[in-house]
Amino acid sequence: MKIAIIGTGVAGVNVLKYLSKEKQIKAEILCFDDQKYLGNGRAFQYDDPELLMNYPGNLISMKPNKPDDFVKWIEKNEQDLKLQIHKEADNNASGNQYYSRQLFGKYMTAHFNQYAQKKNVTIINNHVRNVEQLNNGYRISTQDEAFDVDAVFLSPGQFGPMDPYNLTTTPNYIKWPYPLNRVQVDKVKDYAVLGTGLSAVDIVRYLTPELQTKLYLVSRDGKVQSVRGAMQPIRFKYITAAQLEKVKSKNNGFLPLEALKKLFHKEIAHQGIDADRLFKVNRTQPMKAMQFDLAHSQVVGLMQSFVYELTRNAYLIWPFMTRRDKAAFLNNDAGYITAYANPMPESTAVKMMACIEDNTLEILSGIERIDYKYNKYRIYTKNKEIRVHYVINATGPAKHFKDAIEHNDLIESLVNQDLLIAHPDGGFYVTPLYNEVIAAKGKLNHFYLLGQKSGGVNYMNNGIVELAEEAKRAVKHFKASVLSE
């Protein structure tokens, strides 16, 4: 049997790991990826060490059952590999410790190499252009070769950036910020960043030490993420697989939003979380919101720990909600959860607050339009107009294939063949729980899609631990289906 893994970021590396551990499946494994992303993906390529992971080091691991594996790897390899380790000061109030993204990329590569060096694994660096369905499998074509395989695990990472203001062809527009170390900073020019999320605060850390001018962050709502608090162990009593199955059995296989809210509030009360107080924090006032978070590390950290556990269970919930309930949740409730889902490091918040106080950073809301005239961008918000020389797009990757501005031969080919079907909530159709691709003619045999491009079905599945667990479920399902044939 031949198995192809296309893409070797977090999901792809975990697929390789779990396949390598399966003793009942004898297979040749082909791993496809561009050399520069091999084993670490686009998200963790080499970049400025100032860019920190958003999760503390003891919470990000390629081994979900060993959350401190990354930290132990650092301790073991620091001297031998002469790693450039950038980490936050040890004396932050929450006790969290952060490391650079590029360092995690090195850790991922080491993890990948452990399995890539096995005799049954072949690495192919040629870019995959096409996958075709055959009678009993699939043909994978690169620019140079073709490979016939029996199974495909497609883990192509995120969609490329959006261009919400149609600026791609205008001068001095940076459509995607990463890797930031390639951005040549013009110290005396004015910069604006589109977005106020985690990518935007990364840019604050990178640009403000260089700039002699004010930096602007501009978005529709002007909200910033919460600041990481003291993370605490959480074990759910009410939002469990067993409880969710009980609700589904009473509602024809669905999870009604009102029933989920009842479980949510019971769980919140059980965990001792002061949700009313936390949900009243106005994150459209960034300075006050960051001050609150830093002053209430235990309270905020408990909520973040709760949300962290909730996202790990999202795959049991989201696919079984009706479209109407999903829309209601996204319109009315999601903001309370997402504010605590991906917190910024404490040192980043301290840096941003200092910049706001000394007037080198301003966060603006109510963006309406952007024009480019006389060699400057004119950004109009509800309350003011600003003019800058450079605009950096930090609105994040597209959710939908049609909105991504970067051309992708492989994904476009699969869409044209009706092997990938766009999901209205983002990404493409896959089966819940196991990520089998659903094509126009039905479910594909032994073809799995993992990561953000399955995000319409698998809500909030793009974290390191979530991707690892998604890969584990897919490989387990694949094994069961092979052994049953």
Q: What is the distance between the alpha carbons of residues 183 and 361, in angstroms, rounded to a whole number?
A: 19
Q: Kindly indicate the confidence band of residue 301, based on its pLDDT and cuts at 50, 70 and 90.
A: very high
Average pLDDT, the chain: 91
pLDDT digits (tens, 9 = 90+) for 396-447: 899 999 999 888 899 999 999 999 999 999 999 999 999 999 999 999 999 9
> Of the ranges 142-156, 443-457, 458-472, which one carries the lowest mean pLDDT score?
458-472
**More confident: 182 or 356:** 356
List the domain boundaries for the chain: 2-160+398-484, 173-224+345-393, 241-338
* Residue 150 backbone phi and psi in degrees, to 5: -95, -20
* Residue 306 backbone phi and psi in degrees, to 5: -60, -45
Res 458 pLDDT > 60: yes
Give kind and range of the element (H or E) at residue 368: strand 367-373
2-160+398-484: CATH topology is FAD/NAD(P)-binding domain (3.50.50)
CATH code of the region 173-224+345-393:
3.50.50.60
pTM above 0.85, yes or no: yes
Res 81 pLDDT > 80: no
pLDDT, position 83? 57
Q: What is the distance between the alpha carbons of residues 32 and 54, in angstroms, rounded to a whole number?
A: 28
Q: What one-character DSSP code corresponds to residue 429?
A: -
Pairing of strands 442-449, 436-439: antiparallel
Characterize 123-153 residue by residue with b for buried, 16 or more Cβ atoms within 10 angstroms of its Cβ, and e for exposed: bbeeebebbebeeebbebbbeeeebebbbbb
The residue-averaged pLDDT of 166-173 equals 95
Q: How many CA atoms lie within 13 A of 220 on its CB side?
A: 3
**For the chain, how many helices (H) and strands (E)?**
14, 17
Beta strands in 134-219 (DSSP E): 138-142, 146-149, 151-154, 173-174, 191-194, 215-218
Burial of 328 (0-12, 13-18, 19+ CB in 10 A): middle
Give percent above pLDDT 90 in the chain. 72
pLDDT digits (tens, 9 = 90+) for 110-129: 999 999 999 999 999 988 99
Question: Strand, coil or helix: what is 26?
Answer: coil
CA distances from 11 to 7, 30, 37, 434 (A): 8, 15, 13, 13
Amino acid identity, position 46: Y
Q: Angle at the Cα of 123 (from 119 to 125), degrees rounded to 5?
A: 165
Res 155 pLDDT > 80: yes
Q: Kindly indicate the confidence band of residue 450, based on its pLDDT and cuts at 50, 70 and 90.
A: very high
Amino acid identity, position 49: P
Question: Strand, coil or helix: what is 401?
Answer: helix
> Token pair for residue 103?
């360092």
Q: Kindly indicate the confidence band of residue 58, based on its pLDDT and cuts at 50, 70 and 90.
A: confident
Give percent above pLDDT 70 in the chain. 96
Res 86 pLDDT > 60: no
Characterize 38-75 residue by residue with b for buried, 16 or more Cβ atoms within 10 angstroms of its Cβ, and e for exposed: bbbbbbbeebbbebbbbbbbbbbbbebeebebbbebbe
pLDDT digits (tens, 9 = 90+) for 207-263: 999 999 999 999 999 999 999 999 999 999 999 999 999 999 999 999 999 999 999
Q: Kindly indicate the confidence band of residue 177, based on its pLDDT and cuts at 50, 70 and 90.
A: confident
Res 91 pLDDT > 60: no
In this chain, the answer to whether the domains covering 2-160+398-484 and 173-224+345-393 adopt an identical fold is yes
Within 313-445, residue ranges assigned H as helices are 323-332, 334-338, 346-357, 409-416
Give the Cβ contact number of residue 154 at 10 Å: 30
Res 47 pLDDT > 80: no
Strand partners, 461: none
Beta strands in 13-124 (DSSP E): 28-32, 121-124
Q: Angle at the Cα of 119 (from 114 to 125), degrees rounded to 5?
A: 75
pLDDT digits (tens, 9 = 90+) for 316-363: 999 999 999 999 999 999 988 999 998 998 989 999 999 999 999 999
Pairing of strands 361-364, 385-388: unpaired
Q: What is the distance between the alpha carbons of residues 390 and 385, in angstroms, rounded to a whole number?
A: 15
pLDDT, position 229? 93
CB 40 within 8 A of CB 100: no
Res 54 pLDDT > 70: yes
